[in-house]
Amino acid sequence: MREEFLLDPGITFLNHGSYGACPRPVLAEQQRWREEMERNPVEFLTRRSGALLKSARSALAQYLGAQTDHLIFIPNATTAVNAIAASLRLAPGDEVLSTDLEYGACDMTWRQHCERQGAVLQRVQIPLPFEPQRFVERMMEAATKRTRLIFVSHITSVTALIFPVAELCRAARERGILVCIDGAHAPSQIDLALDEIGADFYSGNCHKWLCAPKGAAFLHVRPEHHEMLRAPVISWGWYDNPVQHSYTGETVFERRFQWQGTHDITPWLSVPAAIAFQAEREWARRRAECHALAIGLMHEFGERHGLAPIAPDECFGQMAPLPVPHQDAPALRARLFDEHRIEVPVTEHGDRTFVRVSMQAYNTAADLQRLSACRF
């Protein structure tokens, strides 16, 4: 499997989580699209892109258990979260409820939009060890009459925890509170059925665990919110246009987001190839093997360092936070790379330090043994 990827054979790559890695056949498909585009850019971008994007979106929607018209492509999860935060009108004193385990860039996004509108960003402390059965209760206990929206990750960045988001969405809906899920790490790492999860807004990356080219992500929005959404860039689809261009899309949602000026749409068109790549290689089995190996190492580290894992095994997918003694995280990361050629992030939360290991189908038990042999 490793030969299917371009990863440098001189390094042990245990950080699929940060930016993903795209396999050769999917990159070849992207190159094929690029060449087709460059044969006649006007034909491709003006006259064909609308239909091509719809077809790619429909393959992604089927994969995600969603309806084609409820999602659009977007370059990355950060842009998606920004679009939602910029669309939500908050009154002074309104609250956005989140956790202390969110991804930094998205936390900053909500902080900025709350500050600008005089609203309050409340971060609920999620104690470690994580108790999945208490998560929804904790969030809902912190919600007040002023809570307009709850923002949480589906899989957290620093601690790799899977949050029970479907249950959270149900509880929030009963209280009339909107929910926005940051699913940057979720597609392909866990099975998704977006219609069943029922979030008001759900963003996810295809360029991480689904192994699509960089620049492929999606935003899924319940239809009742399509009208209130602002795209990051106002462009040709914004107003009813006497000359309706097919490339701006058909629905209001498409017309706001699909055309953001001239840009490379080939990462999006290559998403069906990424889905097919995994489907043809028994991904469910490989994913389960990756999970088992990562969890095994998490327990090994826990015993070695006398530090209990921070959550039950089923709260993790293909990433696991290996508990290591608390120390200078950037220095440890640099030493693992400089001395051992191991690419792996070292994360911190409170007074805990973790080596956040990612196991993708190209990784083997030998990769983990090399990490395990290092000094911590």
Return the range that interacts with ligand PLP (CB under 6 A); candidates 5-13, 56-64, 85-93, 180-188. Answer: 180-188
CA distances from 29 to 69, 110, 133, 247 (A): 25, 36, 43, 21
User: Out of 153, 188, 266, 363, which residue is the one contacting ligand PLP (CB under 6 A)?
Assistant: 153
User: Out of 21, 66, 106, 180, which residue is the one contacting ligand PLP (CB under 6 A)?
Assistant: 106
40 Cβ neighbours under 8 A, 6+ residues apart: none
Under the binding rule (CB under 6 A), the answer on residue 63 touching ligand PLP is: no
Strands of the chain, DSSP E: 12-13, 71-74, 95-99, 120-124, 147-153, 178-183, 201-205, 217-221, 319-324, 342-343, 346-349, 352-358
What DSSP string describes 271-325? HHHHHHHHHTTTHHHHHHHHHHHHHHHHHHHHHHHT---SS-GGG-SSEEEEEE-
Query: Percentage helix, strand, coil, to 5, in the chain?
Result: 45, 15, 35
Return the range that interacts with ligand PLP (CB under 6 A); candidates 100-108, 140-148, 223-231, 325-333. Answer: 100-108
Under the binding rule (CB under 6 A), the answer on residue 76 touching ligand PLP is: yes
Q: Is 213 exposed, middle or buried (0-12, 13-18, 19+ CB in 10 A)?
A: buried
| Min separation Cβ 176 and ligand PLP, Å | 26
Closer residue to ligand PLP (CB): 12 or 189: 189
Q: Is 236 exposed, middle or buried (0-12, 13-18, 19+ CB in 10 A)?
A: middle
Give the count of beta carbons closer than 10 Å to the beta carbon of residue 328.
12
Under the binding rule (CB under 6 A), the answer on residue 189 touching ligand PLP is: no
Give the count of beta carbons closer than 10 Å to the beta carbon of residue 133.
9
| Min separation Cβ 317 and ligand PLP, Å | 13
Total interface residues for ligand PLP by CB under 6 A? 13
Closer residue to ligand PLP (CB): 87 or 372: 87
Closer residue to ligand PLP (CB): 182 or 343: 182
Cα angle, residue 184 at apex, residues 235 and 21 outer, rounded to 5°: 100
Return the range that interacts with ligand PLP (CB under 6 A); candidates 181-189, 299-307, 317-325, 358-366. Answer: 181-189
Return the range that interacts with ligand PLP (CB under 6 A); candidates 7-15, 130-138, 179-187, 287-295. Answer: 179-187
Under the binding rule (CB under 6 A), the answer on residue 218 touching ligand PLP is: no
The structure tokens listed for 107 are 């936390």
User: Out of 13, 44, 73, 103, which residue is the one contacting ligand PLP (CB under 6 A)?
Assistant: 103
Under the binding rule (CB under 6 A), the answer on residue 77 touching ligand PLP is: yes
Report which DSSP code applies to 135.
H
User: Out of 185, 255, 256, 291, which residue is the one contacting ligand PLP (CB under 6 A)?
Assistant: 185
Closer residue to ligand PLP (CB): 61 or 77: 77
User: Out of 182, 254, 343, 367, which residue is the one contacting ligand PLP (CB under 6 A)?
Assistant: 182
Amino acid at 75: P
Under the binding rule (CB under 6 A), the answer on residue 99 touching ligand PLP is: no
Binding site for ligand PLP (CB under 6 A): 18, 76-78, 103, 105-106, 153, 157, 182, 184-185, 205
